[in-house]
């Protein structure tokens, strides 16, 4: 079986590596990929906005399955386009992808189907948003409506911070947007909950805890994710039942009402308040770095899962997992998430100890003349599986020390709530 992976980050490298375990997979392509995916896949430099080129290449190479990693092609309708040509592709269609593409779409769905979420207001201009702020209790949450790579969220503790957030969003910091959301601040603990769906059946796909803030102690600016661990310390059978009954199932029912279905990974970003789940937001793909944290624990053939999902036979697959504790630390370029230096060489990669419990996934890297360079803000993802989170973290830090890369930094407290 030939498989094409669409994307270029750590998530896509992890998907490549786990698919490479399958004896059903004979060839992997990655569009466009990175320096890490090149070890297991053939990188193809295709423009992800040019759907026709992706279609032509897929048909020419007789690729059996495409897997979409990032959100933008999904929101742009890549799945809808390729399905017209009978190309098998894993991921939700354009309407279902609005769960991530528009926060307002999701909030209105929550309203209609009584899905627990933070109270909110929708604003179409700076003036109305700033007027609303005048009588608000702080802290409050302000969000760009559109895709923002996980960064378009502000937690504001006063009016001044709120005004800055409103100005930056409407001035296009996260791309063109005509709306923003102002939300009630929920006091609790975040959790990432994943399911996989074939449009008819759903299966749980593990839990994780992401660390979004750039600095230790969950301080500083929001990022795409500085690290994660799996499973979440919060998950219980009782809580999971609430998540499925009150959040996931009503959401899928809401999509049914829109005459569509959800096929792919659905990632619910939740706030757990006194053991009650509230939906913060949806992502219509695996999280990054949660994907890198979760997939190494998978025992079942990932290619079989993807095919069963595309064929609406997910109920015939038993998804099995390792009981190990998985932790991921993201090594970033100095200066991230603000201005950072690009094209910095990364040496000593051969010093890293990698095996069936220890992984290194490339994110913002490229290979040039047999040398590896950092070209993105989040550069490398180190993952370790062990019997406890402390050992996993120790294993990762040893590998980061072996790398000895002066151009990077990482949060040293990833997993602090589960490591004593």
Domains, the chain, with CATH or none: 2-90 (3.40.50.20), 121-184 (3.30.1490.20), 189-316 (3.30.470.20), 325-409 (3.90.600.10)
Q: What percent of the chain has pLDDT over 90?
A: 91
Query: Measured between alpha carbons, how far is 84 from 313 in angstroms, rounded to an integer?
Result: 21
pLDDT in tens, 65-115: 999 999 999 999 999 999 999 999 999 999 999 999 998 999 999 999 999
CA–CA distance, 245 with 24 (Å, rounded to integer): 35
pLDDT grade for 149, boundaries at 50, 70 and 90: low
| pLDDT tens string 20-35 | 999 999 999 999 999 9
**How high is the pLDDT of residue 385?**
98
- Predicted local distance difference test score (pLDDT) of residue 142: 92
Whether the pLDDT of residue 150 is over 70: the answer is no
**β-pair partners for 321:** 298
**134 vs 236, which has greater pLDDT?**
236
Asked whether the predicted pLDDT for residue 147 surpasses 90, the reply is: no
| Closest by CA position to 295, among listed 269, 265, 274, 273 | 265
Structure tokens at 46: 């295709």
pLDDT over 90 at 146, yes or no: no
Least confident of 129-133, 275-279, 357-361: 129-133
Alpha-carbon gap, residue 18 to 40, rounded angstroms: 10
Q: Provide the pLDDT for residue 238.
A: 97
Give the mean pLDDT of 110-138: 91
pLDDT tens digits, one per residue of 169-201: 999 888 888 889 999 999 999 999 999 999 999
The three-point CA angle 171-178-287 to 5° equals 85
Beta bridge partners of residue 154, listed in sequence order: 142
Is residue 384 predicted with pLDDT exceeding 80? yes
Mean pLDDT of all residues belonging to the chain: 95
- Least Cα distance to 380 among 23, 126, 402 occurs for 402
Averaged pLDDT for residues 351-379: 96
pLDDT at position 135 is: 79
pLDDT at 148: 66
pLDDT tens digit sequence for 200-258: 999 999 999 999 999 999 999 889 999 999 999 999 999 999 999 999 999 999 999 99
- Predicted confidence at residue 51, as pLDDT, reads 97
Q: Are 13 and 286 in contact (CB under 8 A)?
A: no
Count CB atoms within 10 A of the CB of residue 292: 34
Which of 144-153, 167-176, 400-409 ranks highest by mean pLDDT?
400-409
Mean pLDDT, residues 328-342: 96
Query: CA nearest 42: which of 59, 24, 30?
Result: 30
pLDDT at 3 over 90: yes
Contact 257, 233 (CB under 8 A): no
277: its two tokens: 């789940």
Burial of 264 (0-12, 13-18, 19+ CB in 10 A): buried
pLDDT exceeding 70 applies to what percent of the chain? Answer: 99
Which of 230, 209, 225, 413 has its CA nearest to residue 330? 225
CA 181 to chain centre: 21
SS3 of the chain:
CEEEEEECCHHHHHHHHHHCCCCCCCEEEEEECCCCHHHCCEECCCCCCCHHHHHHHHHHCCCCEEEECCHHHHHHCHHHHHHCCCCCEECCCCCCCHHHHCHHHHHHHHHHCCCCECCEEEECCHHHHHHHHCCCCCCEEEEECCCCCCCCEEEECCHHHHHHHHHHHHCCECECCCCEEEEECCCCEEEEEEEEEECCCEEEEEEEEECCEEECCCEEEECCCCEEEECCCCCCHHHHHHHHHHHHHHHHHHHHHCCCCCEEEEEEEEEEECCEEEEEEEECCCCCCHHHHHHHHECCCHHHHHHHHHCCCHHHCCCCECCCEEEEEEEEECCCCCCCCCCEECCCHHHCCCECCEEEEECCEEEECCEEEECCCEEEEEEEEECCHHHHHHHHHHHHHHHCCCCEECCCCCCCCCCC
Roughly how many angstroms between the first and final C-alpha of the chain, as a whole number?
45
């Amino acid at each position: 079986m030939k498989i094409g992976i669409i994307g270029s980050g750590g998530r896509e490298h992890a998907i490549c590596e786990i698919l490479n375990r399958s004896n059903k997979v004979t060839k992997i392509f990655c569009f466009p990929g990175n320096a890490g995916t090149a070890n297991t896949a053939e990188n193809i430099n295709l423009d992800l906005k040019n759907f026709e080129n992706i279609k032509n290449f897929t048909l020419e190479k007789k690729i059996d399955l495409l897997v979409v990693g990032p959100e933008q092609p999904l929101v742009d309708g890549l799945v809808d386009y390729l399905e017209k040509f009978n190309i098998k592709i894993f991921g939700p269609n354009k309407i279902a992808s609005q769960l991530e593409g528009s926060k307002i779409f999701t909030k209105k769905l929550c309203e209609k189907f009584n899905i627990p979420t933070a109270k909110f207001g929708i604003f179409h201009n700076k003036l109305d948003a700033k007027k609303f702020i005048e009588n608000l209790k702080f802290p409050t949450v302000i969000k760009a409506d559109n895709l923002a790579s996980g960064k378009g969220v502000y937690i504001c503790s006063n009016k001044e911070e709120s005004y800055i957030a409103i100005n930056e969003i409407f001035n296009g910091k996260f791309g063109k947007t005509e709306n923003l959301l102002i939300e009630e601040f929920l006091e609790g603990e975040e959790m990432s909950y994943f399911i996989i769906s074939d449009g008819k059946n759903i299966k749980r796909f593990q839990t994780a805890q992401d660390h979004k803030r750039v600095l230790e102690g969950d301080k500083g600016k929001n990022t795409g994710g500085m690290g994660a661990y799996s499973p979440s310390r919060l998950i219980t059978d009782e809580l999971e039942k609430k998540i499925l009954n009150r959040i996931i199932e009503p959401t899928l029912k809401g999509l049914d009402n829109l005459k569509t279905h959800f096929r792919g990974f659905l990632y619910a970003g939740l706030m757990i308040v006194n053991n009650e789940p509230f939906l913060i937001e949806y992502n219509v793909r695996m999280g990054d770095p949660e994907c890198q944290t979760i997939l190494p624990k998978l025992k079942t053939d990932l290619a079989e899962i993807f095919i069963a999902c595309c064929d609406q036979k997910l109920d015939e697959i038993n998804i099995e997992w390792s009981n190990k504790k998985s932790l991921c630390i993201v090594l970033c370029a100095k200066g991230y998430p603000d201005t950072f230096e690009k094209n910095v060489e990364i040496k000593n990669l051969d010093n890293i100890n990698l095996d069936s419990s220890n992984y290194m996934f490339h994110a913002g890297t490229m290979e040039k003349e047999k040398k590896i360079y950092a070209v993105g803000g989040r550069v490398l993802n180190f993952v370790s599986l062990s019997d406890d989170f402390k050992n996993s973290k120790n294993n990762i830090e040893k590998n980061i020390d072996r790398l000895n890369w002066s151009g990077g930094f990482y949060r040293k407290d990833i997993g602090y709530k589960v490591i004593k």
